[in-house]
Amino acid sequence: MNQQGLNAGNRTGGDGCGKSVRAPSRAEWQSDPEKAFKGWVVEVATSKGDLPYSERSQRQYAAMFHRFATFLKTCGSSVLSAGPDVIEAYLASLEGRNPYEPGCAGSPPPASSRPATRSTLKRHSDLIDDVMNHLVVEGYRTENPVFAGTRRLPGRDTGPQLVCLPDQVDARLQDYLLNVMDTSSWAGRRNRALLLLLSGSGITSGQASNARLSQFIFDDAVPSFECVPQNNVDHYRAPLAQSSVAAIREWVEERQLGGGPSGADPEVAFPGKGGGALSTTRVYLEVRKVLQAIEFHGNDMGPRVLRNTYARRQLLNGASVDVVARLLGIENPRNILRLLRITPAHTGYVPV
């Protein structure tokens, strides 16, 4: 994006008609940032050559900013106060579409995903950078946090870096979830069950976010989570780690009895305060909070770390690549093969 004449609160439109254009105020950016952003794109920001953006570009930018604004709200931050840490966390939370799966705007989160590629990160960081530059010029911010936030991210060219918990940290995570984590509130018990599901089944953040109570199966020989068909991924059952079953079942039964926030959708397994399903952004933040609590600090601090760790745990216990692929509900084993290269071989496999 390119901006012209942002030092003034008003500028003359490029159509030669002397059109007065008003930039959104500080109060507008604070109270309704998405509305302010749309006004900024239409009235202030311009494409190359100082021409207005097309309607298609405006829709694309609005969708990108909506995602950023939602993340800020979830973090308790705002476009006027977000610092480098928030920018870094937002960019790290972005997921790119698996190239082997079709995707379209507004579609549900893919069943399998990958960290955003460099081009995706650049599109989002460029957009946020332009917004922050404008806010600095207008005097609404003292500095632009994007450069400091983006320089901390690792480069991602041909494929994502695989991050998984070392064995000792994985053990520390399980101990924290089962014995240390505060579960005195319904939100604490929800978060414990959510983290145990992610770390004990290898499902994605999208699958966890959209989980329904009916998907949990406890009366089979192997308790499992039933993954519904999604984005060309067939129906499959993800077995639950034995150590995670009791706490997950406790939460599911609490929800079946109406536990959780008042007015929650009775079928939603992990409701937020408003009663609807947790967003994938909130899932990411809950995972990051727990990883920080056990003093793990990696280039990725989200649900993918738990998925990778689950897969590596199975490989360490002797599972073949094909078995792990089936457990994760994926057809392309590329990342599993990458994990295999850093995993010692064992035999006598049982799911763990």
Q: Per residue in 250-307, pLDDT tens? A: 999 999 999 999 999 999 999 999 999 999 989 999 999 999 999 998 888 999 999 9
Do both 177 and 302 map to the same domain? Answer: yes
Residue 99 above 50 pLDDT?
Answer: no
Q: What is the pLDDT of residue 54?
A: 81
Q: Contact, 291 vs 146, CB < 8 A?
A: no
- Tell me what the mean pLDDT of segment 188-196 comes to: 98
- Tell me what the mean pLDDT of segment 139-149 comes to: 85
Determine what percent of the chain is predicted with pLDDT higher than 90.
Answer: 50
Residue 44 above 50 pLDDT?
Answer: yes
Higher pLDDT: 2 or 332? It is: 332
Distance, CA of 119 to CA of 121 (rounded, Å): 5
Q: Contact, 272 vs 263, CB < 8 A?
A: no
The answer as to whether 141 is a domain residue is: yes
Report the CATH number at residue 305.
Answer: 1.10.443.10
Do both 264 and 295 map to the same domain? Answer: yes
Higher pLDDT: 65 or 330? It is: 65
Q: Contact, 233 vs 288, CB < 8 A?
A: no
Higher pLDDT: 118 or 222? It is: 222
Residue 8 above 80 pLDDT?
Answer: no
Residue 187 above 80 pLDDT?
Answer: yes
Strands 224-227 and 236-239: antiparallel
Do both 98 and 10 map to the same domain? Answer: yes
For 56-131, strand residue ranges (E) read 95-97, 113-115
The answer as to whether 157 is a domain residue is: no
- Tell me what the mean pLDDT of segment 328-337 comes to: 84
Do both 53 and 179 map to the same domain? Answer: no
Q: Contact, 111 vs 233, CB < 8 A?
A: yes
Distance, CA of 310 to CA of 200 (rounded, Å): 7
Distance, CA of 108 to CA of 210 (rounded, Å): 9
Q: What is the pLDDT of residue 133?
A: 84
Q: Report the chain's mean pLDDT, rounded to a whole number.
A: 82
Report residue 6's pLDDT band, with 50, 70 and 90 as the boundaries. Answer: very low
- Tell me what the mean pLDDT of segment 43-60 comes to: 72
Do both 136 and 205 map to the same domain? Answer: no
Do both 104 and 237 map to the same domain? Answer: no
Class of residue 282 by CB neighbours under 10 A (exposed 0-12, middle 13-18, buried 19+): buried
The answer as to whether 347 is a domain residue is: no
For the chain, state the CA radius of gyration: 22
Q: What is the pLDDT of residue 186?
A: 96
Distance, CA of 163 to CA of 309 (rounded, Å): 8
The phi, psi pair for 328, rounded to 5°, reads: -90, -5
Q: What is the pLDDT of residue 163?
A: 87
Domain boundary among 150, 184, 201: 150
Do both 262 and 129 map to the same domain? Answer: no
Report residue 111's pLDDT band, with 50, 70 and 90 as the boundaries. Answer: very low
CB contact set of 298 (below 8 Å; sequence gap of 6+): 163, 291, 305
- Tell me what the mean pLDDT of segment 297-318 comes to: 91
Determine which of 47-56, 57-66, 94-103 has the lowest per-residue pLDDT on average: 94-103
C-alpha pair distances (Å), 244 with each of 29, 90, 268, 334: 44, 29, 19, 28
Higher pLDDT: 7 or 246? It is: 246
Buried b (16+ CB within 10 A) or exposed e, 36-47: bbbbbbebbbbe
- Tell me what the mean pLDDT of segment 75-88 comes to: 91
Q: What is the pLDDT of residue 101?
A: 35
Q: What is the pLDDT of residue 332?
A: 79
Distance, CA of 350 to CA of 314 (rounded, Å): 8
Do both 201 and 256 map to the same domain? Answer: yes
Distance, CA of 213 to CA of 207 (rounded, Å): 12
- Please give the residue range of the domain that contains residue 53: 2-150
Do both 197 and 316 map to the same domain? Answer: yes
Do both 245 and 306 map to the same domain? Answer: yes
The answer as to whether 351 is a domain residue is: no
Higher pLDDT: 18 or 165? It is: 165
Report residue 160's pLDDT band, with 50, 70 and 90 as the boundaries. Answer: low
Do both 177 and 270 map to the same domain? Answer: yes
Give me the number of domains the chain comprises: 2
Q: Which range among 36-50, 81-95, 238-252 has the greatest average pLDDT?
A: 238-252
Q: What is the pLDDT of residue 88?
A: 87
CB contact set of 99 (below 8 Å; sequence gap of 6+): none
Helices 84-93 and 280-293 cross at an angle (nearest 10°) of: 120
CB contact set of 232 (below 8 Å; sequence gap of 6+): 101, 102
Report residue 64's pLDDT band, with 50, 70 and 90 as the boundaries. Answer: very high
The answer as to whether 158 is a domain residue is: no
Residue 3 above 50 pLDDT?
Answer: no
Residue 177 above 70 pLDDT?
Answer: yes
